[in-house]
Amino acid sequence: MPDLEKVLPELAAEMAARSDRGEVASYIPQLRKVDPLKFGIAVVTNDGLILTAGDADEAFSIQSVSKVFTLTQALGEVGDRLWKRVGREPSGDPFNSIVQLEHEHGIPRNPFINAGAIVISDVMLAGHQPRETIGEIVRFIRFLSDDESIAIDPAVAASERATGFRNFALANYMKSFGNLVHAPDLVLGVYFHHCAIAMSCRQLALAGRFLANNGYHPATGHSVISPQRNRRILSLMLTCGHYDGSGDFAFRVGIPGKSGVGGGILGIVPGVASLAVWSPGLNENGNSKLGSIALEMLAREMNWSIFSR
């Protein structure tokens, strides 16, 4: 294995020098304010090494990256019954497409597009107040990262609620097909809040450790999720983790990942390491432009593709 301690700072330096950084997400007003020049990366290996470079300790809005954690929790709560309400196929459509829902009668194609994650919020609401469910999600992520300082950015959550008409459309549309149990407004309360969680690359890479480790939490030795379920979540990250750019990310980078419109990506090298990268500018599919490039270079350099060994 090449020397990660040398590779990471070089990578951060190379990214700092690039000018074509994509566009910062503008549809959530609060996200527009982020400095497009930021770049951070963190790697946590399965044997406990933590390496970072760039702005790796600055918190950003994890947005859809949070869907990996809520999926894990929902599977823990209802098990494979979940798959009656959410599919497991790549969507072939933009992240917020509603067309697919019309053709498939309100069943979202997978848990990582917006509609699918909204169903998961609905699942997690069962028997709870939104406030309780939101608290549960934050506690789970704090536990995974072993960091009690992780919190929701209330300004981002409010901004999403005020402007998230597309998500209101998706939720009401699924409700009309009977695929939401709770009121759309309550479900979206949960959804907007978990998307508004703020984390640094370091915290995010720490939170992803169990995924790199067959479902075991290395700090405590506890099983977060069974090895089989862990593999399946990684498979969904690979096939669906980057919206309609998932095939391209798998082709170029070759590891399971999940991106968010805040510019973060969580990447998992099974058996080896959990990675987090952050650069706010997005490519045409809504994934971090420099983040994707950095992970592609890093995976190549370290020979981390899951398609060779």
Q: Which residues are catalytic?
A: 64, 67, 191, 243, 261
Q: Which stretch binds its own copies (CB under 8 A): 53-61, 119-127, 198-206, 268-276?
A: 268-276
295 contacts 253 by C-beta, under 8 angstroms: yes
CB of 89 to its own copies, least distance (A): 4
Q: How many residues does the chain have?
A: 309
Number of residues counted as binding its own copies (CB under 8 A)? 57
Q: Is 228 in the site for its own copies (CB under 8 A)?
A: yes
205 close to 274: Cβ distance less than 8 angstroms: yes
Q: Interacting stretch for its own copies, rule CB under 8 A, among 12-20, 59-67, 85-93, 276-284?
A: 85-93
Please state, in angstroms and rounded to a whole number, the distance separating the CA atoms of residues 249 and 266.
12
Q: Between residue 156 and residue 215, which ones bind its own copies under the rule CB under 8 A?
A: 165-166, 168-173, 175-176, 184, 214
DSSP-based three-state secondary structure for 204: helix
- Rounded to 5 degrees, what are φ and ψ at 68? -65, -40
292 interacts with its own copies by CB under 8 A: no
Residues 6+ apart with CB under 8 A from 11: 41, 53, 294, 297, 298
Structure tokens at 163: 């402007």
Rounded to the nearest whole angstrom, what is the least distance from the CB of residue 282 to its own copies in the complex? 17
Residues within the interface to its own copies (CB under 8 A): 87-93, 97-103, 109-110, 165-166, 168-173, 175-176, 184, 214, 227-228, 230-232, 234-236, 238-240, 244-248, 250-251, 254, 256, 270-272, 300, 305-309
